[in-house]
Structure 1
Amino acid sequence: MKRIYVILVLIVPLLSFAQGENDNWYFGQYAGVNFSGPTPTALTDSQMYAEEAVGTVSDKNGKLLFYTNGVDIYNRQHQVMLNGSSIGGGLSTQQLVIAKNPAYPGQYYVFTAAEISTPGSYVAYTIVDMNQGDIGGDGHPLGKVLTNAKRLPILDSSGNKIKTEAITIEDHADTYSFWILVPNGNTLYSYRLSASGFNPVPVVSGLGLSSPLDETKYFGIKVSPQIDYGKGFTNYLSLNMWIPSNYYMNKVYSFERSTGQITNHFSLDVNTSISYISEFSSYGKIMYLGRDKIYAINLGASTSFPVYNQIYSGAPGINFYGIQRNISNTDIYLSTPHYGYLSKINNPDNYGGSSVNLNAIDLKGKLTYLGLPQNVYLSNAGATECIIDLALQNPETYSGHTYSVNNYIITSNNYTVDHTNQSIIMKAENYISLLPNTEIKTGSDFFATIAPCEVLAGKMQRASAAVSNQKISLTLDLRETPEESSINIYPNPASDFIKIDTRSKVLEWEIYDLSGKIVLKGNGEKIEVKSMIKGAYLLNITLEKGKKITKKIIVN
């Protein structure tokens, strides 16, 4: 019997942040906030303890779908989702991101970064399908983590697993797909997620760092919303390092979302100011960062010299870590560890008019920790689209899907298609190669053909601009925080003792375990840890004059 294959390409040029999809946040020590009304309100139904990386997804109407701390995924009934335990991240992993599958409504990619303190941890992704799973009280599925799409490793350009705690996302200029951005070593790896799936072949950019990122450094990454055209690039991209204590770094690059690469149009070094992470205003030109103090930097006005001001001068015992804009109301929120309120930057789009409200949202007895959820990205492409090339290395996760690429498709490492996948179509302009360990099983409907990839209509056009390289530097807090630039914790990791090396007097210190409870407390510069359970901890140090500093330590 002859089969006739008809490929219909439906293109809907819409890609953006979701709206209702970001109406709920779950984070910290069982804390949550709903943003759907005119005034954000606390949620107290969370069953999740989280220290750093968190993510929450709702539907377009703002109804909760699931939330995660990077370790487990919880459904809307606040139970661990079917197959949703141990997805690969860790409680002390700094970031994770979630993106809606551009091809399949109801599916979401959860990208988890590594936990540096855990051997064998690596950057990976997991797919959640909200069309599957147990039936909830409302008669609809509660979601399921796909068995063959759980903790799939993301590899660098040399084929190695990546161990970094930093990961973020930005939409592609084609308005149909995304860039998953992972910094490691001295390289930014940009992976494209499109309707053809996750492309494991990264686009690479050099970071130009004097000290490359490695497993001794803790850092985060953020990318701004798209700025106006005419500058030769589309976004700002920031890296913020807060450990080790003798090498704080905040760096801003220019980024082009059509190529996924860093450009040479703009570079800003912000020296000495400690910042766990940074955040950008809704129009992308103001960056906020800091820890005990918060600064606003006007990137749009910083051409040959930085334009900045301090919007918060500090308060005893207050150190900000997570800084995150919520697309539902464009406000920027801040987290302070073990604090009963979520703080907020007032008027973040108004340079010179912004300020910090320390007690903006009462969490009703729940507490913050370090991390806040990055915004969920949404695509309504709903169709096959063209990418350069594609390598498929795991059992097929799609059903009734078409891959279409400009160059080639390669399958390897146990790529499998069976009857559950229904119809899989591959189209490539140059070649399709089914390498050893590829298996097309009986009962599957598989078709591969050499054919041109359809050119997407409606791609965003950009005017080119001849802009010279702008490289500037900004120094903050040199006279105000000498303790932070001189303190050193060693050895770290440690098995017997930890030494606090600082020119200031140590009044007291506290060590918190992963449950947020104090396990040790004392004073002086030497801490015995040989009786402690192996793992990652937070060391809170109080110096003379009430200065508080938090360090991450590892006991092995």
Structure 2
Amino acid sequence: MILFLAKGVNAQGEWNNWYFGIKAGLSFQNGNPLSVPYSEIQCSIITASISDSSGQTLFYAHGFVVYNRLHQYMINGTDLMGGQIQGCQPVVAFENLSLENAYYIFTVNEYTTQPPPITPTAGLRYNIVDMGLDNGNGAIIEGEKNIPVPGGENMSTCITATRQQNNHDTWVIGRSVATGDDFFVAIPVNKGAVGSRITSNSTINCNNGLIQPKHIKINYNGDKLVCLYVSSSSQSEFCTFNKSTGTVTPLFKFSPLIGNPYSAEFSLDGKKLYILEHRSNYDDLIVQYDATLTDLAAFMNSAT
């Protein structure tokens, strides 16, 4: 799955290359999907991929390593502080509009109050890539690596991003899970500056990290959001998102028909929501819901 934002509405090639885990990838450079078996990502976590307007790969990343267009470690691109849990969503990348040929990479780790050897909490952090470095192969700028985001200390496991209402600036959206700090969080990134967080109440109590957000997805238009959780009840939240204010408004909680929710995606027009549900013996199921509905019963009855 790809997680990045093209610079403008007329961009063409930025979406052409998708690098997954397990050394898999797809290219749409010639219009049709073509397998690209040279991804260096071996783990099964969600990734971010960046290409230029002509569709040439610039870099791709998971939560702790960035690879350049040559499929080599980017200079200063190792030891990022994103999560490593299977299926988590620890990274987003998008253009830094205050610098020429520069990009943000935001990462988030899993929140935990457990002692070592459990991975310590790193929260939300960002890195800045300068594509002018290393002969055009890019590098993370010295001193601009693993920068903590104020207000993101308790964010955990998954993040996403969308354009603000002006279609220029960006929201980075995730979930804070600590006791007393149990909210949806939206971080504005405006003209290259990382701003103060906006918090919104959730209908699911994460109980100091005992319940973890698994996957968060926002639709292409940026006005609908779903958050999947790891819990005994396998509940999820269906929400709206305000691109002007950064506020999340939960509409209802729901549980999958069968199994545990693993990942989600909206259709391009935002009218359908697809959820991958894990069942026993890896007999997984993709369920389609009507994302135009705002009533729980009608939403669940729309499942196919």
TM-score (norm 2): 0.83
C-alpha deviations, 1:209-235, integer Å up to 9, x for none?
245462552421111122xxxxxxx61
SS, match of residue 129 in structure 2: strand
Match of 1:168 in 2: 160
Match of 1:178 in 2: 170
Conserved 8 A contact 2:203-2:253: no
Match of 1:539 in 2: none
Quote the offset at 1:255 in angstroms.
1.4
Indicate which of 17, 22, 36 corresponds to 1:24: 17
Greater relative CO, 1 or 2 (CA 8 Å, sep 6+): 1
Conserved 8 A contact 1:22-1:62: yes
Q: Which amino acid aligns with 1:259?
A: T
Q: 1:65 to 1:304 in 2, by over 3 A?
A: closer
Larger Rg: 1
Structure-1 separation of matches of 2:155 and 2:296:
36
Conserved 8 A contact 1:297-1:306: no
C-alpha deviations, 1:473-529, integer Å up to 9, x for none?
xxxxxxxxxxxxxxxxxxxxxxxxxxxxxxxxxxxxxxxxxxxxxxxxxxxxxxxxx
Alignment of 1:289-300 (within 5 A): 289-291=275-277, 292-300=284-292
Task: Provide the aligned length of Structure 1 versus Structure 2.
Answer: 277
Q: 1:120 to 1:17 in 2, by over 3 A?
A: farther
Quote the offset at 1:208 in angstroms.
2.6
Quote the offset at 1:53 in angstroms.
2.8
C-alpha deviations, 1:112-147, integer Å up to 9, x for none?
1103441243321111110112x2xxxxx1101011
Alignment of 1:241-252 (within 5 A): 241=229, 243-244=230-231, 246-252=232-238
Match of 1:283 in 2: 269
Indicate which of 99, 107, 111 corresponds to 1:104: 99
Quote the offset at 1:16 in angstroms.
4.0
Runs of 4+ in 1 over 3 A off after TM superposition: 14-19, 210-213, 301-305, 307-311
Q: Which amino acid aligns with 1:192?
A: P
Conserved 8 A contact 2:175-2:213: no
Quick check: 1:75 aligned with 2:75? Answer: no
SS, match of residue 148 in structure 1: coil
Q: 1:72 to 1:196 in 2, by over 3 A?
A: closer
Sequence identity, in percent? 25
SS, match of residue 269 in structure 1: strand
Quick check: 1:89 aligned with 2:77? Answer: no
Match of 1:121 in 2: 122
Indicate which of 223, 248, 251 corresponds to 1:267: 251
Match of 1:255 in 2: 241
Quick check: 1:42 aligned with 2:39? Answer: no
Structure-2 separation of matches of 1:211 and 1:113:
16
Conserved 8 A contact 1:187-1:207: yes
Structure-2 separation of matches of 1:290 and 1:310:
12
Match of 1:314 in 2: none
Alignment of 1:47-58 (within 5 A): 47-58=40-51
Structure-2 separation of matches of 1:36 and 1:79:
21
Q: Which amino acid aligns with 1:290?
A: L
Q: Which amino acid aligns with 1:267?
A: L
Quote the offset at 1:304 in angstroms.
7.1
Q: 1:211 to 1:189 in 2, by over 3 A?
A: closer
Structure-2 separation of matches of 1:29 and 1:237:
27
Conserved 8 A contact 2:99-2:192: no
Q: Which runs of 5+ in 2 are unaligned?
A: 1-6, 112-117, 278-283
Match of 1:197 in 2: 193
